[in-house]
Amino acid sequence: MRLANKVAVITGAASGIGLATAEKFAAEGATVIVCDLNQAGVDAAVAAITEKGGKADGYIVDVTNKDQINTMRDAVLAKHSRIDVLVNNAGIVMDAQLVKMTEEQFDKVVDINLKGTYNMARALVDTMVEQGSGVILNASSVVGVYGNFGQTNYAATKFGVIGFVKTWSRELGKKGIRVNAVCPGFVATPILKSMPEKVLADMANKVPMKRLAEPSEIANVYAFLASDEASYINGAALEVTGGLTL
Ligand SMILES: NC(=O)c1ccc[n+]([C@@H]2O[C@H](COP(=O)([O-])OP(=O)(O)OC[C@H]3O[C@@H](n4cnc5c(N)ncnc54)[C@H](O)[C@@H]3O)[C@@H](O)[C@H]2O)c1
């Protein structure tokens, strides 16, 4: 098992890619710290993992809430004494073209996707530095490399996440910490529910493989990047798009 004895904190782990990643990490032997917004979602994710024999603890963590983040970190350290992996997966969309975007839409997406990623890394980095090891993985997107119609706010956050990765990997590499981003194409999860069926069908049609990704196909990439098999991958923004951008 590639993640045996590793303690992995995953945000937004109650749904979609985060849930698939939590399940994959647990199957690879990690103790998974499931972080999400509500108790029911967290409990369901923990139950799904433990029913299959995996190890998981659940915490309510809104990535915009520093008190909740610090409470989770302190509890995890008290119980497990280490944090090996952080997957900054939590993210939302609130799409609108520039001419229609409201300040609330802009601020909320930036607060969760960008500042939330910073909040989590800032809160956990000291632990990784003290350990002399750690992996920080961050959810960017193909939209964080190429932009997308109607996604001014989301694109800015996903470009920003790659900026974090390029900066943190320079700062933390010598301290034994690797930092990378994953840039998925379009993945069949609840985040796409606001997109019209026709847009999704067109999107799938643009992919040479003629389909969206499954959440497990992104989870597999996170698991590889979190494992020691990826020991020389640092500062990368890995596109996992089925060839969408070719
Ligand atoms: N689905 C896609 O096509 C796609 C493509 C590229 C990148 N991504 C990125 O992958 C990540 C996961 O997306 P998904 O498709 O699985 O979405 P999803 O909506 O299925 O899951 C997102 C999870 O994040 C949680 N969340 C939302 N706000 C939060 C907050 N403030 N604090 C903590 N948790 C919060 C939600 O409760 C939910 O469980 C996001 O960062 C998204 O931008 C998704």
Q: Tens digits of per-residue pLDDT, 26-39? A: 999 999 999 999 99
- Assigned domain for 193 exists: no
* Distance in Å, CA 90 to ligand 1 centroid: 5
- Assigned domain for 30 exists: yes
Q: Whose CA is nearest to atom 2 of ligand 1?
A: 187
Q: Whose CA is nearest to atom 8 of ligand 1?
A: 141
Q: Tens digits of per-residue pLDDT, 184-235? A: 999 999 988 888 889 889 999 999 999 999 999 999 999 999 999 999 999 9
Amino acid identity, position 75: A
Cβ–Cβ under 8 Å, residues 133 and 125: no
> Ligand 1: does its nearest atom lie under 6 Å from the Cβ of 37?
yes
- The whole-number pLDDT of residue 191 equals 87
- The whole-number pLDDT of residue 161 equals 98
d(Cα 97, Cα 66) in Å, to the nearest integer?
31
- The whole-number pLDDT of residue 199 equals 87
Q: Could you give the dihedral angle defined by the CA atoms of residues 123, 127, 132 and 138, in that order, rounded to the nearest 10 degrees?
A: -40
User: CB 203: neighbour CB atoms within 10 A?
Assistant: 16
- Assigned domain for 196 exists: no
Q: Whose CA is nearest to atom 43 of ligand 1?
A: 91
- Assigned domain for 173 exists: yes
Structural domain total, the chain: 1
Structural domain for 68, as ranges: 7-185+214-239
* Distance in Å, CA 194 to ligand 1 centroid: 13
d(Cα 86, Cα 155) in Å, to the nearest integer?
22
Atom of ligand 1 nearest to the CA of 12: 24
Q: What is the mean pLDDT of each run of 10 residues along the chain (246 residues)?
A: 97 98 98 98 98 98 98 98 98 97 98 99 98 98 96 98 98 98 96 86 95 97 98 98 95
- Assigned domain for 136 exists: yes
Domain with residue 33: its CATH number is 3.40.50.720
DSSP secondary structure of 170-233: HHHGGGTEEEEEEEE--B-SGGGGGS-HHHHHHHHHHSTTSSPBPHHHHHHHHHHHHSGGGTT-
Task: Classify residue 99 by its DSSP letter.
Answer: G
Cβ–Cβ under 8 Å, residues 3 and 21: no
* Distance in Å, CA 174 to ligand 1 centroid: 31
Atom of ligand 1 nearest to the CA of 213: 3
Q: Secondary structure of the chain: what % helix, strand, coil (to 5)?
A: 55, 15, 30
In the block, residue with structure tokens 């799904």: 48
- Assigned domain for 109 exists: yes
* Distance in Å, CA 89 to ligand 1 centroid: 6
- Assigned domain for 194 exists: no
Residues recognised as catalytic: 154
- Assigned domain for 78 exists: yes
> Ligand 1: does its nearest atom lie under 6 Å from the Cβ of 242?
no
